[in-house]
Structure 1
Amino acid sequence: VSGNTLSLYSIVGGDVSLPCNNVIYPNCSSTIWNYGSIEEVHLGRVKKEELNNRADRLSLGSDCSLHVSDVRAEDAGVYICRQFLTEGEPQHGGDAHVHLSVLTMSSSSPVTDIKPDRPVTLRCSLHTLNGTGRCAPAINQDVSLSWQRVDETDTGLIEAGTNLQGDSRYQVTQLSHCDITLNMTLQREDNNRKWRCQLTGKVETFLDFTVTFPGTSNAVKLPISHIMLFVTLTVMAAIVTIHTTRSNCPPKALHPQAEEASGIELQVLEE
């Protein structure tokens, strides 16, 4: 909370509930919600006839909080909850302000151009009352953004102005506390790796960008020793099944071609 303003954070595509701290009537019949100068909720009802598609993402909670689903960058800004005892009368009490900031991420390259040995720039920005990547004084002053590399074995933290594990292919530019970019040249081992934009401060949240090269498979690769063990166990199970079946049936001679076809061939692609 900054002064009389409550600060909330959401990621793009997420859901958020904006609390109203000055409710009079529990049934919300006295509650009005404004987004800036636009009235979005009038005496407990969402004004769908004026808000078009945005109204479909708004709803009022049982405590008169304003719920925003599928949050978008343009949802950032100041929301005001007000109370009116009856229609047409002066406002009762003061305003309850809620400032919503939205974390977004973008890539300089379309998905089809994300390939090994090609450069890519990821931008992570906090959308605030002041615009994209522009911190709002006294509201976003205690937050910061950073880049992380996330994979199955370790997590390396990229801090502004430094390179990941001393690798010069990573370049981080901190434009402000609310705007940070990551420049790198992708390598083959980056396939299926996550790059995380982490927001830290009084609250913590993050967005992930997963690199997946076109035409690659996500199939799990087993070590060769595991493959041989699996095949051995499968052959043993087949022998037991065949032996049990044949104990109840007279033996039959196999045609020479059938004997040749019954062999098991295992092909293992060496790494």
Structure 2
Amino acid sequence: MADECHLCLLGLIFLSSLLTGTSGVGETHVFISSGENVHLPCNNALPDCKSTTWIYENSIYHSAAVKLFARGIKKKNTEIHKRLSLGSDCSLSIKNVKKVDFGLYSCQQYVNGQKLRTDASVYLNVLQVSSSSSQTEISAGSSVTLSCQLYPYADLPCDDWIHNEGIELFFVNQAGDKLKTSDSRYQISAPGHCTITLTTILLNEDDNREWRCEVTHGHQVKTSVTYTVRYSERVENWVGRGYYVRLLLIVIIVEFAAFAAPTVILLQIICARRDGRKDS
């Protein structure tokens, strides 16, 4: 009975593809910032995710395709596999996305060992911002350089792909205004279309200030990464400790004087009385 149902389902899918005149389900581009969670849709999903297989390809980090899920079951227990889960709609969820996760994710469907339809391809593009200085070294007057890089997966080189797709990478301030190279305070450079850097000298008022790197496609923001400047706790704690140390010393001196003065007076009285008795 189950085999007959699978055959009927296969026939319906085949008939549907003939009627619509399409042989695929298209491609999806997903943009995400590193450290966030993402859900990759499976646009050819069947009601039962036990027929779903997810495959991952990355020509830079992997020489061959990696099978993440096969018939709804997780295949391995590597670092990336531990961050994966399968949704009720057969979507692929990735927790704490890292830059090495960019690549091509393909959702495939199998019934009775036979592959149905074409793959539902999802291209994951990861955006990441890094700083030239660690947070323990940042203070007013120091120079900081922020590097924002997009890791896309495409058949073309990154710069060519961004140019052809009309994708733009840039920095904005807390108010959302785009930072321009004409502003003398900022040195903005773009070694490539997929990388942009921002260099500036920090001011006193820059503590807890935010700069954001954004990716737009057709003037629509796809994803962004915010970098918050926080001045070194080490310097702030040192100033705070100096204040409290001085206050503590003052309190100790006052307390010592308050207790020592009566004691000295009492000793003087006792000594005076003894001297008086000796004289008498």
Does the TM-score normalized on the shorter chain lie above 0.5? yes
Determine whether 1:214 maps to 2:232. Answer: yes
- CA gap of 1:76–1:112, structure 2 versus 1, over 3 A, is same
- CA gap of 1:42–1:135, structure 2 versus 1, over 3 A, is farther
- CA gap of 1:136–1:101, structure 2 versus 1, over 3 A, is farther
Structure possessing the higher radius of gyration over alpha carbons: 2
- TM-score of the two chains, using structure 2 as the length reference: 0.66
- CA gap of 1:136–1:34, structure 2 versus 1, over 3 A, is farther
The answer to whether the 8 Å contact 2:44/2:109 transfers is yes
Q: 1-side partners of 2:55 and 2:160: how far apart?
A: 19
Root-mean-square deviation (CA, aligned residues, Å) is 2.6
Give the drift of 1:14. Answer: 0.7
Q: Which runs of 5+ in 2 are unaligned?
A: 1-24, 58-64, 237-280
Once superposed, which parts of structure 1, at least 4 consecutive aligned residues long, lie more than 4 Å away? none
Deviations 1:145-201 (A, max 9, x none): 111121xxx554203x332xxxx2311112333211001111112111111112222
Question: What percent of counterpart residues are identical?
Answer: 36
Q: 2-side partners of 1:173 and 1:111: how far apart?
A: 23
1:197 to 181, 191, 213: 213
- CA gap of 1:175–1:29, structure 2 versus 1, over 3 A, is same
Give the drift of 1:130. Answer: 5.7
1:113 to 125, 137, 150: 137
Q: 1-side partners of 2:128 and 2:164: how far apart?
A: 15
Q: Which stretch of structure 1 is more off in the superposition, 204-213 or 33-42?
A: 204-213
The answer to whether the 8 Å contact 1:126/1:135 transfers is no
Q: Which stretch of structure 1 is more off in the superposition, 66-75 or 194-203?
A: 194-203
Match of residue 39 from structure 2 = 17
Match of residue 7 from structure 2 = none
1:6 to 6, 28, 49: 28
Give the drift of 1:46. Answer: 1.6
Q: What secondary structure is seen at the aligned counterpart in 2 of 1:81?
A: strand
The answer to whether the 8 Å contact 1:146/1:199 transfers is yes
Matched residues, number:
203
- CA gap of 1:10–1:51, structure 2 versus 1, over 3 A, is same
Deviations 1:37-78 (A, max 9, x none): 10000001122xx24121121111111011111111111010
Q: 2-side partners of 1:162 and 1:120: how far apart?
A: 19
Q: 1-side partners of 2:215 and 2:83: how far apart?
A: 25
Deviations 1:72-105 (A, max 9, x none): 111101001111102xx23222111100001100
1:53 to 67, 71, 79: 79
Q: 1-side partners of 2:86 and 2:150: how far apart?
A: 25
Which structure has the highest helix share of the two?
A: 2
2:71 to 26, 29, 43: 43
Q: 2-side partners of 1:111 and 1:54: how far apart?
A: 28
Deviations 1:175-233 (A, max 9, x none): 3332110011111121111111122224432111111111476xxxxxxxxxxxxxxxx
Q: 2-side partners of 1:116 and 1:46: how far apart?
A: 49
